[in-house]
Amino acid sequence: MPRYFIEVAYMGTRYSGFQVQLNANTIQAEVARALKIFFGKEFELTGSSRTDAGVHAVQNFFHFDTGTEISSKAVYSLNAILPYDIVVKNIVEVKPEAHCRFNAISRTYHYHITRFKNPFCFGRAYYYPFKANINLLQELATAITTFNNFTSFSKKKTQVKTFNCTIEYSRWIFEDNNWRYEIKGDRFLRGMVKGLVGTMLKLSKHNKTIADLADIFEKQNPSAADFSVASDGLFLMSVEFKESIFHNLV
């Protein structure tokens, strides 16, 4: 049976996360509902990156199997059914063994901060008017690439086989009153990016050092990190796969 990747983007403000949950509205629930309305049948969706409540995505994926023919008009029709804050960007046929979660080779996240109250950033950036040492923030971001065990930056009771992640780059971009933290890695744990951002801001505010960051990593305890920053500023920017898993675009 053919397998398809469905590429989506969304504002996560109104949703309880990406993956389906009981008694909560999620991105997966809305996409599954739209598919059922358009095709008249249930689709079993498997998600790629499980963004938390309030987190946004410029690119994320589901995969599903179906013997139903998927034509080019499906994208337009699904978008007509979906709410305003979710969009289907594409539907791509892949090889039958392709998996949108396990075959992802990297993910990129951005975290946006506004230094001044700005109504046009509401829901899209974290308002942080406090003092911060930008040189230290950059040093801390660079140091993050030297660590592998991110237990301290994973929410408690996260069920994974390993807390090891390989970070390709970690950096801050400072543009006047708009700051952006960018990070790319092979995998991410629940709450990891927010934990990193919150911890860096806290260390910077109190003029700590890279040694203090290393101590948090070494403790391997989420209680040592700071997860207090809001979800508003977090965007999953992209999920990358090897081209070999794809067939032709639909």
Q: What is the pLDDT along the chain (250 residues), one digit of tens a residue?
A: 899 999 999 999 999 999 888 778 999 999 999 999 999 999 999 999 888 999 999 999 999 999 998 988 899 999 999 999 999 999 999 999 999 999 999 999 999 999 999 999 999 999 999 989 999 999 999 999 999 999 999 987 777 889 999 999 999 999 989 999 999 999 999 999 999 999 999 999 999 999 999 999 999 999 999 999 999 999 999 999 998 898 754 4
For the chain, how many residues are written? Answer: 250
Among residues 52, 85, 215, 232, the one annotated as catalytic is 52
What's the half-sphere exposure (Cβ side, CA atoms, 13 Å) at 109?
28
If phi > 0 it is left, if psi is from -120 to 50 it is alpha, else beta; for residue 164 that is beta
Which of 48, 14, 16 lies closest to 236, judged by CA? 48
> Letter for the amino acid at 66?
T
Annotation marks residue 52 as catalytic? yes
Which of 69, 4, 59 lies closest to 27, judged by CA? 59
**Tokens 């919150």 correspond to what residue?**
198
Residue 109 · residue 24 · CB < 8 Å: no
What's the half-sphere exposure (Cβ side, CA atoms, 13 Å) at 33?
12
Paired with 55 in beta bridges are none
What distance lies between CA 180 and its chain's CA centroid?
A: 15
Determine the Cα–Cα distance for residues 169 and 83; give it in Å rounded to an integer: 34
Whole-prediction pTM value?
0.94
Q: Is the dihedral of CA 225, 228, 233, 238 positive or negative?
A: positive
